[in-house]
A and B are shown apart, each in its own frame.
Chain A
Amino acid sequence: DGGITQSPKYLFRKEGQNVTLSCEQNLNHDAMYWYRQDPGQGLRLIYYSQIVNDFQKGDIAEGYSVSREKKESFPLTVTSAQKNPTAFYLCASSILEGLTEGFQPQHFGDGTRLSIL
Chain B
Amino acid sequence: QKEVEQDPGPLSVPEGAIVSLNCTYSNSAFQYFMWYRQYSRKGPELLMYTYSSGNKEDGRFTAQVDKSSKYISLFIRDSQPSDSATYLCAMKGRGSTLGRLYFGRGTQLTVWP
Contacts and interface: CB of A to CB of B under 8 A. Distances in A.
Contacts, number: 60
Interface residues of B, number: 25
Interface string A47-61: 010100000100000
Contact of A111 (B42, B98, B104): B42
A19 interface: no
B6 interface: yes
B55 to A, nearest CB: 17
Nearest to A109: B43
Nearest to B32: A103
Contacts of B103: 42-44
Nearest to B42: A110
Contact of B99 (A42, A94, A109): A94
B43 A104 contact: no
Interface stretch (B45-53, B62-70, B72-80): B45-53
Contact of A41 (B44, B101, B105): B105
Contact of A42 (B45, B51, B88): B88
Which DSSP category, helix, strand, loop or mixed, fits chain A's interface?
strand
B49 A105 contact: yes
Contact of B43 (A42, A45, A94, A111): A111
Contacts of A44: 103
Given A103-B51, A105-B49, A90 B43 contact: yes
A108 interface: yes
B95 A97 contact: yes
The 8 closest A-B pairs by CB, nearest first: A108-B43, A42-B105, A97-B99, A43-B103, A42-B103, A110-B43, A105-B46, A108-B44
Interface of A: 4, 6, 31, 40-45, 48, 50, 56, 90, 92, 94, 96-98, 103-111, 113
Interface of B: 4, 6, 8, 32, 34, 41-46, 49, 51, 88, 90, 95-96, 98-101, 103-106
